[in-house]
Structure 1
Amino acid sequence: MFTSLKRFLIGRPLKSTELGEQKLGIFKALAILSSDALSSVAYGPEQILIVLMTISAVAFWYSIPIAVGVLILLTALILSYRQIIFAYPHGGGAYVVSKENLGEKPGLLAGGSLLVDYILTVAVSVSSGTDAITSAFPFLHPYNVPIAVVLVIFITLLNLRGITESASILAYPVYLFVLALLILIVVGLIRIMHGDVPASSHAAIGTPVPGITTFLLLKAFASGCSALTGVEAISNAIPNFKNPAPKNAAKTLLLMGGILAVLFSGTVFMAYYYGIAPNSQETVVSQIADHTFGRNYMYYFIQGTTALILVLAANTGFSAFPQLAFNLAKDKYIARMFTMRGDRLGYSNGIITLGIASVLLIIAFGGKTEALIPLYAVGVFLPFTLSQSGMLVKWVREKPKGWMGKLITNFVGALISFTVLMIFFITKFTQVWPVLIFLPLIVVLFLRIKRHYDRVGDQLRIQPKEKAEALQIKGNVIIVPVAGITQVVQNSINYAKSMDPDVIIAVYVAFDREQEKKFEEQWKVWQPDVRLVTLHSHYRSVIQPLTKFIDTIEYKASESSYCVTVIIPQFIPKKRWHDILHNQSSFLIRAYLLYKRNVIVTTVPFHLKK
């Protein structure tokens, strides 16, 4: 039943040889890896205006030079990450660049912040999309959290079906959003050129604004830079591209940068020219669409595609998180399970982990993730800064052909990214201070996991040239816990005899003396050649007296170089659900004994036929 349900939800298993068919072309990759960056157009310009509005509506003209600054940073990041794609064609992005050029701890800092950022991406995007849905249908507002959770589960299942299948489905909403925004911008510009929008609706560029400060402008610039989240995702996911993967990834990155630049600058200009002010009841994009088309079908088309892409922006996290987790796991900084491909050849453990973490975050914050957006931005600009700095070190150290131009590009990117990062810390410290605690803790956790894997490797490693050491085992003592005289026990006793041990000890735990005596008499008739030890339990516990007895035998056996083997009889019901009808003492005994150094644990199953 479980297998059938699994096949229905995620599809049939794919052969390893079909991996090439799961690679992405430029068209699908642009949709699946750019949704986070492109969706930020829906809120990036608004973040600029919210800061400027604290002075007055006259200050809105500053949104134009601020947008130019954001575009300069976008250009620097796109060019820099294009260099990273060719320098590190196996993916990993900021984590690999920082680790190789700045050292282990900066690399882990970049990797850890990106992992957290992708979780925040999913939680924030889905919550924002849910808000857009419940705003259109107010009666659904009390169900914000359940709707968001269902959407995360849906996107998780979609990604478990394979990257190409999810890309095929998600490409349409992404390109519809791009089309909708382009139509909005083009029609708006035509109306402006025809004089349909009065110049009096906005302040002229250069109008003096009393009270404006450099600090406020920097804060507005930093807020506008939230539109750049998700730019790094393509460099993390290069292995997901069809060959030649680096070239296809680089083309996709340039296309994404170009589309993002056009949509962002167009939206900022339209908001400025229309004189639109942020409104808690209506988004800036909604107001632009209303001014341009009125409340007709085009307005609802734009709002619908905007809500869709806000939800689907989460898919960038589902594309990049598993690949980054794979790189960290390959280097032994997180659990090795993240290196395993699932039935559909995706890194399903990473996908499921991201889905669960996002659901927990949404539930914990009640679907109100506005407080997470500053953390979200810091989680992006910290890796931005580290990756740019890492590339600076790389060019200075290697000095390849044309390295000076590359150095200048990365220097500009590193300087602006660091500036934005510091502005976030200074202006929003009360919201972002947790970063100073949990990121170091994540790095410490990574290092402890790496130390564990190194220690395990040291203990398991054998040099082929070394002569194998002979184990000094003089004999074998077998202990068989028995609960009665049954087919299950007989099956285990027969197996024990086949091992030719020095001694077999059957151990029976009794709760009253009369029962104990009766069982001893029956055993002498049934298995006279097998020694029986009965243990009386005053507190009706089987585990405690049994494990105490095994500890005693283990201690005595170890002094004489004897091996102790515990054979646990267990019957297996025909149907799995029947397990809940029987006590599971065998599992508890085995769980305890597995941590005993000198005890070997063997389970002998007896399969029931009915």
Structure 2
Amino acid sequence: MSIVGLILGRRLANREYGERKIGAFEGLPAMGLDGLGSSAYGPEAALTVLRPLGAASLASIGWVTAPIVALLVVLFVSYWQTIRAYPTNGGAYVVAKENLGTNASLLAAAALMIDYVLNVAVGISAGVAALVSAVPALHPYILPLCLGILLLVTIVNLRGTLDAGRLFALPTYTFVASFAAILGIGIYNTVTSGGSPHPVVPPPHLPEAAEAVSVWLLLRAFAGGCTAMTGVEAVSNGMSAFREPPVKHGHRTLTAIVVILGSLLAGIAYLATAYRVGAMDQTQGGYRSVLSQLASAVIGEGVFYYVAMGSLLCVLALSANTSFVDFPRLCRAVAQDGFLPKPFAVVGRRLVFSVGILYLAATAGILLTVFGGITDHLIPLFAIGAFMTFTMSQTGMVAHWLRAIRHATSARERWAHKVHLAINAVGATTTGVALIVILSAKFLEGAWITVVVMPLVIVLLKAVRSYYDEVAARVREPGPLDLRETEPPVVLVALEDWNKVGDRALAFAMSLSPDVVGVHLIQLEGPDEEERHRILRAQWKKDVEEPARRAGLAPPRLVILRAGRRTIYEPILELARELQARFGGRRIAVLIPELVQQRWYQTIMHTHRARRLRSRLLKHGGPRLTVVNVPWYLDEMEAPARPRVAA
């Protein structure tokens, strides 16, 4: 087995595609890690904004969290309908394309692409930051740790979504069980103590108030807290990953993500107020996250605490997996419409879209490297793309139900569509208002970058489509078969030496045309090859010309060209042009004998001149020159020669 096969697994057959799909059990770790992980930094972002209020921040966090949870419920109901209406792919791109038009769909695609890349960089960075805060000795290795986790997540997803879901199930369900227990114990202690529980490990004292409560401050806190909802759309975007029936598994996964996330957000806000836990300054020594303070206040710092925090670190670091599941599927849909290069739509060896996975890993790796593994400055950009796609998707669903109402055949059907319309209209309105609030609150903190980048991405997508449209226009010429050029070509056979490889190529050339020329280049390895070409002429007369005459065939002639600069293709191209002029513009075919390396070590044993010659001739030969490879198998001597033709 090759190294690639050992790492990624065997190449899967197309018939196994259905077996590689996932259910709700794998769906939660595959698509829910982004949403679950955001429960760690969403409430913390809101409390950080409220920190200037001092102790009064605890009285305000509930007012900030309540609309976030309410918005989460609206999104849940809205995406429940979207999944039912689009059971194979209910992502914002597809919904916008079918209901709002091409430009709207490209806006949704640009927003999603930016959001997915940011999610990978920020999620991995947050996980490593939490690890380094627990083990300060690892601080010098932040970037290598980030890139190592990125490599791990990339390899696991190249193996397939099913493998990723199963591998990440343990830390995911450990996180859910641990913090469900912590929140349950904390709520029980709070209720039984009359609202004033005694913390096992008291959190740090809250700072003195530096400013008063204002509507603008609450709006900024709301914008920060909305980062907790960035993974809600993942299920609708990744519906093609679910096994039959996809709607059932999609609904179950969406329900699990929203119920767990909503419970965490509400529970954290409630217990932060009860245990008087606030956000700490991340730039100061001794920093501890809100969840770390809360867990130690409820259960102390024993084994359970470290299990819970360890699972949190894993969920944060692996939250990038959500993007690795959905980003390649989004790119496939966009590529199928011609707005991304076609390799994005090609399934890889493990029945996943490998090019999209590798592109996502590369772009996230660049971001992590540029920021040194510390991506806090990217967080203000984080929610913009998510809420843009929320709004586009819900607006598209409004248009979908309006069209369905017009085509309804009964009053009952029309009433049902109106109910669905009302739900998605509420979703579009609320997410649109939230997007405006987030843009206003975070514009100067970096959100303006997203506003600038999105149009640039759209321009790039349209440029790709323009290229494909131009190619299609040039090659599209319907009509009868053109039989004007049926005369055999003049065939040139590139020979490095006279051996069995050249023998096979020459015999094949003579089956194609009576006009065959053997071409041998001298001085490819330096100026001391004169003796070799004298020997070659003698061999050619004995082994080629005489047998051809005895068989009644026109003997191929040998042309020896000098490669003064040791370049392969220039002398052959010059000869091809001379022959075209001599033979009245007939097509020239160049046959290139090639040793096929079937063992890994054989690759470094050969010069690969045949491959380089083919590449150069295709690039510079023009439309009247055809290139044919004639393979010779070292390890399978009886394997038939199957020429690969490229024009």
User: Tell me, what secondary structure is at the counterpart of 2:481?
Assistant: coil
1:133 counterpart residue number: 131
Percent of pairs with identical residues = 33
Superimposed CA distance per residue, residues 11-38 of structure 1 (whole angstroms, 9 cap, x where no aligned partner): 3344433333323222332332211111
User: Tell me, what secondary structure is at the counterpart of 2:427?
Assistant: helix
2:20 counterpart residue number: 22
1:133–1:307: 8 Å Cα contact kept in structure 2? yes
1:35–1:315: 8 Å Cα contact kept in structure 2? yes
Structure 2 counterpart of 1:35, one-letter code: L
- Taking the TM superposition and a 5 Å limit, the aligned residue runs for 1:69-468 are 69-195=67-193, 198=196, 211-279=212-280, 280=282, 281-399=287-405, 400-430=414-444, 431-458=446-473, 467-468=480-481
Structure 1 counterpart of 2:172, one-letter code: V
1:509–1:542: 8 Å Cα contact kept in structure 2? no
2:324–2:360: 8 Å Cα contact kept in structure 1? yes
Superimposed CA distance per residue, residues 106-128 of structure 1 (whole angstroms, 9 cap, x where no aligned partner): 10121222123222222221221
Deviation of the 1:264 alpha carbon? 0.5
CA–CA separation in structure 2 for the residues paired with 1:182 and 1:512: 79
CA–CA separation in structure 2 for the residues paired with 1:62 and 1:515: 90
Shift of the 229–221 alpha-carbon distance from structure 1 to 2, 3 Å rule, reads same
Shift of the 383–219 alpha-carbon distance from structure 1 to 2, 3 Å rule, reads same
User: Tell me, what secondary structure is at the counterpart of 1:506?
Assistant: strand
- Are residues 1:515 and 2:526 paired? no
2:92–2:105: 8 Å Cα contact kept in structure 1? yes
Shift of the 96–499 alpha-carbon distance from structure 1 to 2, 3 Å rule, reads same
1:512–1:536: 8 Å Cα contact kept in structure 2? no
Comparing 596-605 with 150-159, greater Cα deviation is found at 150-159
- Are residues 1:493 and 2:506 paired? yes
CA–CA separation in structure 1 for the residues paired with 2:489 and 2:13: 45
2:574 counterpart residue number: 548
Structure 2 counterpart of 1:45, one-letter code: P
CA–CA separation in structure 1 for the residues paired with 2:421 and 2:562: 79
2:335–2:341: 8 Å Cα contact kept in structure 1? yes
Comparing 62-71 with 450-459, greater Cα deviation is found at 450-459
1:98–1:386: 8 Å Cα contact kept in structure 2? yes
Shift of the 512–163 alpha-carbon distance from structure 1 to 2, 3 Å rule, reads closer
Equivalent residue in structure 2 for 1:57, among 55, 58, 77 = 55
User: Tell me, what secondary structure is at the counterpart of 2:623?
Assistant: coil
TM-score (norm 2): 0.85
1:523–1:532: 8 Å Cα contact kept in structure 2? no
1:502 counterpart residue number: 515
- Are residues 1:569 and 2:593 paired? yes
Shift of the 254–579 alpha-carbon distance from structure 1 to 2, 3 Å rule, reads closer
1:473–1:561: 8 Å Cα contact kept in structure 2? no
CA–CA separation in structure 2 for the residues paired with 1:61 and 1:550: 84
Shift of the 456–486 alpha-carbon distance from structure 1 to 2, 3 Å rule, reads same
Superimposed CA distance per residue, residues 577-605 of structure 1 (whole angstroms, 9 cap, x where no aligned partner): 23323323322221121132111101223
User: Tell me, what secondary structure is at the counterpart of 2:193?
Assistant: coil
CA–CA separation in structure 1 for the residues paired with 2:602 and 2:610: 15
User: Tell me, what secondary structure is at the counterpart of 1:398?
Assistant: helix
CA–CA separation in structure 2 for the residues paired with 1:238 and 1:153: 25
Deviation of the 1:470 alpha carbon? 1.5
Shift of the 542–519 alpha-carbon distance from structure 1 to 2, 3 Å rule, reads farther
User: Tell me, what secondary structure is at the counterpart of 1:231?
Assistant: coil
Superimposed CA distance per residue, residues 160-194 of structure 1 (whole angstroms, 9 cap, x where no aligned partner): 33333322232222122122222122211222223
CA–CA separation in structure 1 for the residues paired with 2:572 and 2:165: 57
Number of aligned pairs? 599
- Are residues 1:47 and 2:61 paired? no
Deviation of the 1:561 alpha carbon? 4.5
Comparing 220-229 with 167-176, greater Cα deviation is found at 167-176
1:480–1:504: 8 Å Cα contact kept in structure 2? yes
CA–CA separation in structure 2 for the residues paired with 1:540 and 1:238: 55
CA–CA separation in structure 2 for the residues paired with 1:32 and 1:62: 34
Deviation of the 1:574 alpha carbon? 6.4
1:53–1:60: 8 Å Cα contact kept in structure 2? no
Deviation of the 1:94 alpha carbon? 0.6
- Taking the TM superposition and a 5 Å limit, the aligned residue runs for 1:557-596 are 560-572=584-596, 575-595=599-619, 596=622
Superimposed CA distance per residue, residues 335-385 of structure 1 (whole angstroms, 9 cap, x where no aligned partner): 333333334333333333333333333223211111222222112111111
CA–CA separation in structure 1 for the residues paired with 2:79 and 2:529: 79
Deviation of the 1:282 alpha carbon? 0.3
Superimposed CA distance per residue, residues 122-157 of structure 1 (whole angstroms, 9 cap, x where no aligned partner): 222122112222222222221222222222222222
- Are residues 1:604 and 2:642 paired? no
CA–CA separation in structure 2 for the residues paired with 1:63 and 1:237: 33
1:205 counterpart residue number: none
User: Tell me, what secondary structure is at the counterpart of 1:54?
Assistant: helix
Structure 1 counterpart of 2:629, one-letter code: T
2:494 counterpart residue number: 481
TM-score (norm 1): 0.90
CA–CA separation in structure 1 for the residues paired with 2:162 and 2:529: 69
CA–CA separation in structure 2 for the residues paired with 1:232 and 1:316: 10
Comparing 587-596 with 543-552, greater Cα deviation is found at 543-552
Superimposed CA distance per residue, residues 28-50 of structure 1 (whole angstroms, 9 cap, x where no aligned partner): 32332211111111111111111
CA–CA separation in structure 2 for the residues paired with 1:367 and 1:196: 44
User: Tell me, what secondary structure is at the counterpart of 2:592?
Assistant: strand
Shift of the 213–348 alpha-carbon distance from structure 1 to 2, 3 Å rule, reads same
Comparing 425-434 with 592-601, greater Cα deviation is found at 425-434
- Gaps of at least 5 residues in structure 2 are 204-208, 406-413, 546-554, 638-647
Shift of the 573–15 alpha-carbon distance from structure 1 to 2, 3 Å rule, reads closer
Structure 1 counterpart of 2:627, one-letter code: V
Shift of the 162–576 alpha-carbon distance from structure 1 to 2, 3 Å rule, reads closer
Structure 2 counterpart of 1:603, one-letter code: N
Shift of the 545–110 alpha-carbon distance from structure 1 to 2, 3 Å rule, reads same
- Gaps of at least 5 residues in structure 1 are 203-207
Deviation of the 1:478 alpha carbon? 1.3
Deviation of the 1:432 alpha carbon? 2.5
Comparing 91-100 with 222-231, greater Cα deviation is found at 91-100
Structure 1 counterpart of 2:466, one-letter code: R
Structure 2 counterpart of 1:379, one-letter code: G
Deviation of the 1:88 alpha carbon? 1.2
CA–CA separation in structure 1 for the residues paired with 2:521 and 2:6: 47
Comparing 49-58 with 262-271, greater Cα deviation is found at 49-58
1:20–1:242: 8 Å Cα contact kept in structure 2? yes
1:496–1:504: 8 Å Cα contact kept in structure 2? no
